[in-house]
Structure 1
């Protein structure tokens, strides 16, 4: 019973956070559509999300669409992860295929949602009586449909990719939004070195909110100090960039090592280890050891943040990641232990993903 009460309390707190988030929405936000920054694929999470230069499968739809040119047949991918003691669920499905020898196409769907949130706005009636039958449930979920295209350029080893995003967000019957955005990317290979550049939201991703004024007023009146004016209805997500370089080595016979260093850049001042008025940079490093391209061991470190303690002293925090994988006859199963929220001391999540390469089934 105590556990159920804790879950109910957490979901009620999440309700207040969500309503507050909508209430303080601004026309231009630094951190809009943050669910699109979480990432996909347990293999990538295991490497600390350092895969912009080396990605070369269906999951390139998210990490670097230019990598899709490396696929030879249909590929599919599924991923599931949970966050905040399983209350928030994060799911991804992707499919990619070659168009011809020089180009490829991919589709992916991402969902990050909290289901069965308690709407307690009418729990207490006008006479002060508590009626649990007046509690309703609703979901708050973010969706993104990605459509990616990749093509080889006339320059040897140079590939280009684009990713169009349709974003839908809803908070029960209170508010919903639709958004559109575009990513562009490059990959370049020379002398066994791999380079990647991913430019996210190059057009500034646009979100237009539709607010249910009646429902919004009802929930505001039930939450103390939340009776501010109706929220803004437009959000623009600032552009971001990722640059990476990778190299693969042969350790001994049948054992290989892939290493990659990425620089994640936001064009605003943050708590990243490198932060200026123009750009903030968060480096990330990852590695993968494989045995005959069948068994994988992965590790990574990233999310380097300058932290101010309660006594005003400064410290540096970082996030380690671990992962393993197994591939056999076109089926690859991966696992990662990581903090998908990449925030503070939040609990680590277990991330599982499956990738299918249909070339093996023909």
Structure 2
């Protein structure tokens, strides 16, 4: 029931908006990844210096000198579970490669009909999956390129849809006070169209004629929808104070299913071991419940050259309450 109420709330916001919200497939691709980036308001395109660069900007992967892995979990609305996992391998002069997985599980829901509105006793589930392969290379000591090739799948009960897409990213470190400039285009790919045995129905071609075959097997045809194409451009700057660091980032976002917006965020690092973060999402965007983001992180040296990190983020969603994000990673 909570999931149904949540969907109705989303539809009410769509109906009053003047944008194309809800007009694309696979909206789960727009859910941000990693508590660090989330707590910085999603302003991460020009920072992109941890494992979640596999999602935010694949060009940043080439600038990570270590190997690593990260698992992130989000407690989404209506008890929906959103998980992301990624691994990164630095291949030296050959660049860097990575593999990542998004898994969104809506849980089990009971089947209801007009005749049995309290449930039939049968249950169904829905899930979304995206698998990405990443390659990134430093063209120079200042300029990097990266690409994701990904497979996308959505499934509800016995119907599913699939697509293939690319993400392209660039990262440039300028000589103007070390200012970083990043840009990405995400989810450039094929359309998605649901298909499966749940679309088969028994149909009466002409109900006005008695005695004809009123049980003809037919199949419903669904529309095809584009993926949520997103263009991001951002800037970031580090300010170093002895052993401490302050990072400020600003991202401008241009999606094909919503209006333009700006994300702003920052991170303060104490001796690169303790981190405090804050940000604000969807600035200048009307009809949104997104806003303040907060978080913190800890890094611990397990042994020489091997580090573990724990991260947490809180994201305010107004009338929809809030979401919490957790992450654990290792770098070696």
Class of the TM-score when normalised by the shorter of the 2 chains: 0.7 to 0.9
Quote the residue 2:169 is aligned against: 185
Match in the other structure for 1:145: 131
CA distance in 1: counterparts of 2:74 and 2:102, whole angstroms: 12
1:230 aligns with 2:223: no
Matches within 5 A, 1:1-362: 9-11=1-3, 30-85=23-78, 87-121=79-113, 124=116, 134-153=120-139, 155-173=140-158, 175-191=159-175, 192-202=178-188, 204-213=189-198, 230-237=220-227, 239-250=229-240, 252-267=241-256, 270=258, 272=259, 281-304=260-283, 306-307=285-286, 319-329=291-301, 330-339=307-316, 345-357=319-331, 359=332
* Distance in 1, Cα, partners of 2:132 & 2:77: 26
Confirm or deny: 8 A CA contact 2:261 2:285 kept in the other structure.
no
Answer yes or no: is the 8 Å Cα contact 1:305–1:318 preserved in 2. Answer: no
CA deviation digits over 1:292-319, x for unaligned, max 9? 10000000002135547xxxxxxx8650
Per-residue CA distance 1:196-234 (angstroms, 9 max, x = gap): 0011123x343242132457789xxxxxxxxxx935252
Separation in 2 of the partners of 1:131 and 1:72? 56
- Gapped runs of 5+ residues in structure 1? 1-8, 19-28, 125-129, 219-228, 273-280, 309-315
Do the aligned partners of 1:48 and 1:302 also contact (CA within 8 Å) in 2? yes
Instruction: Give the distance between the partners of 2:244 and 2:286, measured in 1 at CA.
Output: 39
Measured in 2, the distance between the counterparts of 1:232 and 1:321 equals 38
Measured after TM superposition, the shift of residue 33 of structure 1 is 1.4
Which structure 2 residue ranges, 5 or more long, are not aligned?
A: 11-21, 204-218, 302-306
Does the 8 A contact of 2:70 with 2:87 survive in 1?
yes
Q: Aligned Cα RMSD in Å?
A: 2.7
Q: Distance in 1 between matches of 2:130 and 2:9?
A: 22
* Number of positions where the alignment pairs a residue of Structure 1 with one of Structure 2: 299
- Residues of 2 paired with 1:54 and 1:31: CA distance? 28
Q: What's the CA shift string for 1:264-313, capped at 9, x where partnerless?
A: 11246x4x4xxxxxxxx2011100000110000000002135547xxxxx
Q: C-alpha separation between the residues in 1 aligned to 2:50 and 2:93?
A: 15
Match for residue 223 of structure 1? none
Q: 2:238, 2:7 → 1: CA distance? A: 46
Give the whole-Å Cα distance in 2 for the aligned partners of 1:47 and 1:117: 34
Relative to structure 1, the CA distance from residue 216 to residue 112 in structure 2 (aligned partners, 3 Å threshold; closer, same or farther) is: farther
| TM-score (normalised: structure 1) | 0.75
2: CA distance, partners of 1:255 / 1:249: 9
